[in-house]
Amino acid sequence: MSRRNMEVGDIVVVDDERINALGVVTEISGEPGKTDGVGNESKGKWAYRIRFLCGINRVDGALLPYGDEAWLNDDPWRIHVDGEDGFSLPESFLGRNVTDLLAQSGVQRKALSPEQMAAVNRKRQRKRIATIVIAVVCVVAIVVGVTTLVKHRRQQEAMQQQREQMQDLIDSTDPYALKLLRNCGNLSTISTGYGVEYATITPRTDEMDWTTLGCMVKSMDEEANAANELALWQNIVTAMSGNIITDENQLESLSWQSFMGIEARCAVDFNSVMHCNVRSGEGGDSPSADNPTPVESPSSESSSSSQGAGDSQQAAGEFDPDNVRGRWCRKDGTTCVVITPQAEGKSTPLVLDTSQMGDENPLPGGQTSTLMGYNYQSQPSASDAEQQLHMITQYSYRIDCSMYGDPCDGDTLHVADMAIGGAPGTGIKFEQKPLLVTRVGPTNAMPIDGLDESNPPEQVAYLIIQPYGETPANSVSNDTVFYSRMT
């Protein structure tokens, strides 16, 4: 900063670490004795005596006495001269009107030259522009913030509405039709969906359709063995007996028949194609009541024996491949997760609670719980599920329109239904990325990605929790997995 030296009669504002004051220059001297050593003409140092009209001592906050004087060196960084370097006296100073203060003190401001006035006006204009720019930036920031908040809130409301609508649709679906959808959705012989009152099956008639029958039995929560599948087939044939239709819609005119815990109305068309509507029943007859012969067969006895052995193993605390519920902790015993059903009596969705993981909580945005479902496109074999059962937490996504032609909706936010589960498909962009939760059984012989061979987990049931699609080397070890805890 550069300006001319101060002159007698200059009105100045002193602003440094000691004082903040308005005053007038009354004398200039280079005599050390007169200026208390501040000025020294031989060294080219000049001292300026300033009489203060109004000011404050920054050290103790006391007001400076009116008329108090001090010898100071000229310093453009801390002493500002009225009319110089674009500086102009303010309208008020420390609460005092500057014009009245100067008049009471008999001090007159010097007339400004055109150049000085232009400099003052430029500085004022820059200040006004800076004020306007700051105001505009603040307004834009507020508008952007409010818009973002409103958009986020609308997204949250849309996601909540989608979840509620999906849950309402699931709740309105016949229970047996819903189980068929989850267990047998990939079979072309079974037609079902959300919100339906019943499912429609068209089993093959050229030979025994064991795949369809097995999936239907499994959806009854029964063991899919030959005895139960044959019993179901015989009951379907009995329900169909004497019923001939020309159109599938004519099934609605038939009466429902109960067997094996479900209800069915069945008929055959002129092309020898079998059609059946099936839905959940009110405690229909067991297979043995309608079909004593298959139940008394050796395979049935073997099934009963096997089921009994499974019950005793479960009661003894053995590993249950269908049960991942409960509390799972790392070996420190304090870093834990809890898995519970969202609704009692329903196997999915499950709820993953990570509130006991502290700073290691992997859920985003401060979440401590999320829904979880199975991560399969098709039903895994019992052997594979017993060794490793893969689950996935709830995620949201948008369609990646770069992989599709027009028209394509890439704006709508979709939320995965964990009651259905299933691995994420291609052609999507995650908004909230899921976690992959793998329950490993004590008899696991399948390879484990990212296993730390130098510190492997114990040969018992445990959970692996990691971001979906990310498996760093040596990330699965005795220190990182979660072991089952009874409490």
- For residue range 36-88, what is the model confidence (pLDDT) as tens digits? 999 999 998 999 999 999 999 998 989 999 999 999 998 888 999 988 877 88
Give dist(CA 193, CA 442) in Å, integer.
36
Are 451 and 468 spatial neighbours (Cβ–Cβ below 8 Å)? no
Give dist(CA 136, CA 118) in Å, integer.
26
- In the predicted model, is pLDDT for residue 294 greater than 70? no
> 3-class DSSP state for residue 473?
coil
Give dist(CA 295, CA 229) in Å, integer.
11
How close are the terminal C-alpha atoms of the chain, in Å? 74
- In the predicted model, is pLDDT for residue 217 greater than 70? yes
Are 372 and 347 spatial neighbours (Cβ–Cβ below 8 Å)? no
Q: What is the pTM of this model?
A: 0.38
**Average pLDDT in the 389-402 region?**
88
Report pLDDT for 452: 94
Report pLDDT for 176: 93
- Retrieve residue 47's tokens: 């001292």
Those residues whose C-beta lies under 8 Å from the C-beta of residue 83, and which sit 6 or more positions away, are: 109, 110, 112, 113, 116, 120
Report pLDDT for 366: 84
- In the predicted model, is pLDDT for residue 275 greater than 50? yes
Amino acid at 6: M
Omega cis (within 30) before 349: yes
- Retrieve residue 285's tokens: 């007859």
DSSP state of 476: B
> 3-class DSSP state for residue 77?
coil
What pLDDT band is residue 304 in, cutting at 50, 70 and 90? Answer: very low
Report pLDDT for 307: 36
What pLDDT band is residue 1 in, cutting at 50, 70 and 90? Answer: low
- In the predicted model, is pLDDT for residue 392 greater than 50? yes
Q: Could you read off the pLDDT of 407-450 as tens digits, one per residue?
A: 788 888 888 878 766 678 777 889 999 999 999 999 999 999 99
